[in-house]
Structure 1
Amino acid sequence: MQNSTSMKTPTEAVPKFKAQPRVAVVVLNWRRPQDTILCVTSVMKLDYSNLDIVICDNDSGDGSIDTISSGLAAFLPEVIEMRRSKGFLGFEYREVAPDIRNVENEAGTRRLWLTQTGRNGGYAFGNNVGIRLAMLSKDIEYIWILNNDTIVDETSLKFLVAQMASDPAIGICGAKVLYSGRDMKVQTLGGGRFLPFRARCEQIGEGLPATEASAPENVEAVLSYVNGAAALVRRELVEQIGYMDEGYFLYWEELDWATRALASGKFRLGYCPDALVYHQVGASSGTSDHGIPSLSSTYWMTRSKFRYLRLHRPWLLAIAFPLLLKAVIREGLAQRWTRAQMMIRGAFSLPVKF
């Protein structure tokens, strides 16, 4: 992966704050502790001192918590406190020296929490555990949801917070997410758009060069949801519309959350092109966005799509079911019977065993 700082132009100004709003970074782990360590290590290198880090393990059952704990211990400059209670393993640490690029702020105290969620309840469930834990701190103003297979640019959070601070109506703000190790191509500019007459979503800007400079207002005009790989969420949004819907195990929960936020009339979605995040797509869910998806991915994608349509756009089921039938026939002709079955069972929320 190229050095993220190479993407910056000489004229870009990193925003400064008289007092940095406090941010909680929530990272969900499931059986990929090394990815989580790399992600959180990049978060620790952020040019932003006023933050908490909450790592939630979705009951991996593979020793992930111990691996993450020991792996991150080497990066904690000075451990002030470590305690274990009610399943939480908490570190509080202080930077050895202030960041010279941010001299107006003294070295801040960052809190790092590791917790077991108790079960693998899916993406929304696991992240909600982290959000709830973060919001126990009344001084948290924003929650940054990150996939554990991401690496963040050191200035990304400053740019995102500045974008949110510029407009109190922005409830969720997305970053420029780039494919990691794929010739620096765009995965998404902020998030995606919902295509009602195709009953599906598409990512905005996918495949464009990393230097793509679409204006935020142009992206925001077509933005239906913010990509969950890197979404900065305003605390007030959670307080007013609630948490992510845990009825979605995987996929479509971002669109559901955004739909509810927009329907409230109180929030809009934002895009910050200067915030760069690098994403190893599919690692966090065990699937791939390229090539043939796994059977579990097929099932959850179909199930979540039809859940969303039933909840928010039931009139589009008249389009979605014929499209489903076409896809099932295609899989049958290719003799992919199990995949066709996963589509049918997903559409009707029938249980499966993987």
Structure 2
Amino acid sequence: MSTQPLVSFITINYNQAQVTCDMLESTRTLTYPNVEIIVVDNGSAEDPTPLIEKGHYPNVKVILTHANLGFSGGNNAGIKQAKGDYFFLLNNDTIVTPTLVEDLLAPFATDSSIGMVCPKIRYHDHPTILQYAGYRPLDRLTGRTWAIGLQEEDKGQHDVSGATYFAHGAAMMVRREVIEKAGSLEDSYFLYYEELDWSARIRRAGFKIYYEAKALIYHRESMSVGKANPLKAYYHTRNRLLFMRRNVTGMTLVTFCLYYFLLALPKAALVHLVRGQTKYLKAIKDAIAWNLTHKVNQNGDIIPSVALDKPYKI
């Protein structure tokens, strides 16, 4: 029996069985021996199990949710089934590197206050270009943050590991005890902003988010939703507002609302109007309406509960 901690990989499949299998194929190169892999199928049109089983990937378990639970709900379903000491939430559209697990585990062994570790992320189709090398702090006026190193050529300029403000949802390893203390992902986000919210909650619980420069993955960005569409506009708008309501208070929240509703929102609406993008306008309207009909209490709980919200329909 291995004395090394068990690491549970959790990945979500949604109508991308071959993409998922490409990621699973890359895990054959892992040098860390004690891994289980959980594929959560979020109600795909076709059951991916036969294709995954055909690949004979080691230590893989498929969970069928029979519904689209979104990023948060799907990962939470996997977390409930995972047996690991550490959970590694990994997008299905990624490719891992051989020493990834060892590199991600190393910071945990040096600092008990580290609760989550993320690797350096490069673009799969442009393998020398960075997507993530940590996150900048939240801009409390705009409700946005930007990844350090985004679209820079990796020349070693971000090879210093250290604490960062937010995890990247494509790849994040978390201790089991962190989830026991800070909770898992908030189901209601469904798509976008959920890892920022989780990171903020983990930091409030007294843990650090850590960027490990030695660890590396490659990411096929935006294969699930695409670069721009009304669905993305809806969840970005809805969850940007929800995130700020859950994570900032007082005059900070008031200032953000003034900025957003007097400047950012009219500008976005005007652009879509000029382009004749009526579906985008409807998506933004529906996102605001959702926030107006769902309260957030002092604990950050959403009322009424939306854990079982149906996915937004264009």
Amino acid at match of 2:231: S
What is the Cα deviation at residue 43 of structure 1? 1.8
Deviation per residue, 1:250-309 (Å, 9 max, x gap): 000001101111112x201101101010000011x2222xxxx11111111111111111
CA contact (8 A) 2:238 2:288 kept: yes
Within 5 Å, give how 1:1-354 maps onto structure 2.
19-70=3-54, 72-73=55-56, 75-76=57-58, 111-134=59-82, 137=83, 140-191=84-135, 193-216=137-160, 220=163, 223-264=164-205, 266-283=206-223, 285-288=224-227, 293-314=228-249, 315=253, 316-322=256-262, 323-349=264-290, 352-354=312-314
Count of residues paired in the alignment: 288
2:290 aligns to what SS in structure 1? coil
- Specify whether residues 180 and 26 from structure 1 end up closer, same or farther in structure 2 by C-alpha distance, changes over 3 A only: same
Gaps of 5+ in 1: 1-17, 77-110
Change in CA separation of 1:192 and 1:130 when aligned onto 2, cut-off 3 Å:
farther
Q: So what's the TM-score if we normalise by structure 1?
A: 0.77
Query: What TM-score comes out, normalization by structure 2 length?
Result: 0.86
- Alpha-carbon offset, residue 212 of structure 1: 2.9
What's the offset of the Cα at 1:342?
1.3
Q: Is 249-258 or 326-335 further displaced after alignment? A: 326-335
Query: Cα RMSD (Å) of the superposition?
Result: 1.9
Contact preservation (8 Å) 1:156, 1:275: yes
Read off the aligned partner of 2:85 and give its amino acid letter.
E
Task: Please report how far the alpha carbon of residue 352 of structure 1 lies from its aligned counterpart in structure 2 after TM superposition.
Answer: 4.7
Q: Separation in 2 of the partners of 1:155 and 1:215?
A: 16
Whether the 8 Å contact between 2:135 and 2:148 is mirrored in structure 1 is yes
Tell me the residue number matched to 1:87: none
Q: C-alpha separation between the residues in 1 aligned to 2:271 and 2:239? A: 21
Amino acid at match of 1:186: L
Secondary structure of the residue aligned to 2:188 is: coil
Return the structure number with greater strand share. 1
C-alpha separation in 1, matches of 2:49 and 2:208: 36
Distance in 1 (CA, whole Å) between partners of 2:136 and 2:40 is 26
Percent of residue pairs bearing the same amino acid type: 28
Is the CA contact (8 Å cut-off) linking 1:199 and 1:319 kept in structure 2? no
Shift of 1:249: 0.8
How many Å separate the matches in 2 of 1:32 and 1:182?
21
Letter in 1 for 2:225: G
Q: Residue 159 of structure 2 contacts residue 214 of structure 2 at CA under 8 Å; is this kept in 1?
A: no
> Deviations for 1:34-66, whole angstroms, at most 9, x for unmatched residues?
111111121232010011111110011223222
Structure (1 or 2) with the larger CA radius of gyration? 1
Q: How far apart in 1 are the matches of 2:4 and 2:185? A: 26
Tell me if the contact between 1:213 and 1:273 (Cα under 8 Å) persists in the aligned partners.
Answer: no
Note the residue ranges of structure 2 that are not aligned, 5 or more in a row: 292-310
